[in-house]
Structure 1
Amino acid sequence: MTDAIVIGPGPNGLAAGRQVFGRMMSMLGQSHGFPVPVGGAGTPTAALVSRLRRHGGGCAAGR
């Protein structure tokens, strides 16, 4: 996920594709807006945790 954010060259010199993709994502975000989930950035996480709990799982983040 962070590869889309990095616009500069990478440490291994093979970052030409990442650089083009990062610049393209930046341009699209500036011209069309960056998507934000309704309810804020924590909404997808809350939905995933809710689904996990419905299936008998648990989440102990931040402890």
Structure 2
Amino acid sequence: MLAALLPGCGKSECKKYTEHFCKDAASPQCASAIEKVKDLSSNQCRIELNQLQIDEQSKRLEDELK
């Protein structure tokens, strides 16, 4: 019940994770992401998505510092 009241909770976190990889629905990355979230809780999906965002931001910062 509480998860329904909090923004960003629930399966929407897993949906955000798969959307990150599924810009091309036929790509192997998309299929892999869809398969991966089947076994993850929404909290695990949120953690995975946050880690992706951290990695992307780190890469952008490294590129800017070159």
> TM-score if structure 2 supplies the norm length?
0.32
Instruction: Say which one has the larger Rg.
Output: 1
**Higher RCO (C-alpha under 8 Å, 6+ residues apart):** 2
Q: Comparing both structures, which one devotes a greater share of its residues to helix?
A: 2
> TM-score if structure 1 supplies the norm length?
0.32
